[in-house]
Amino acid sequence: MAHRTYEMIWAVVRRIPRGRVATYALVADLAGLRGARQVGYALHALPDDHRVPWHRVINARGEISPRAGSDHDELQRVLLEHEGVEFDERGRIALERFLWKPRKGRPRC
DNA sequence: AACATGACCATTA
DNA sequence: GTAATGGCCATGT
């Protein structure tokens, strides 16, 4: 069953603003985890009333992770496009433009 | 407790 | 650019 780890991850994912995406590694880092795999686990275990923008979480390649035995991967792309996130011809997202940058203290103003 | 699995990542060849 | 290897650690049996 779900435990504290999941809620930490979900809390981070909820922070991702609209029109932005975050990688699994980034979410894991913000959630205080050491491995990015657990992030995928947590999202897979989302409850029905999750209220979590899971579609804004992508892999480090800037692509949607092809999950096994589900059609939700295409849904993720639709949801992101609906928020303004653009994909190139290979189905890849330009992380330089759409990656969420949590108050990391931007260099200069 | 051990083993196998997993919506992953970084490094190396 | 691709392909293979090791590591990471929670979850279910």
Q: Which two tokens stand for residue A91?
A: 């189905």
Nearest-nucleotide field for A63 (CA, C1'): B7
Confidence category of residue A107, pLDDT binned at 50, 70, 90: low
Nearest-nucleotide field for A34 (CA, C1'): C8
Segment A41-90, tens digit of pLDDT: 899 888 888 899 999 999 999 999 988 767 778 899 999 999 999 999 99
User: Which nucleotides in chain C lie less than 7 Å from some protein C-beta?
Assistant: 7-12
**Range list of H helices, chain A:** 4-14, 24-30, 37-44, 72-82, 95-98
Closest amino acid to nucleotide B8 (CA–C1'): A37
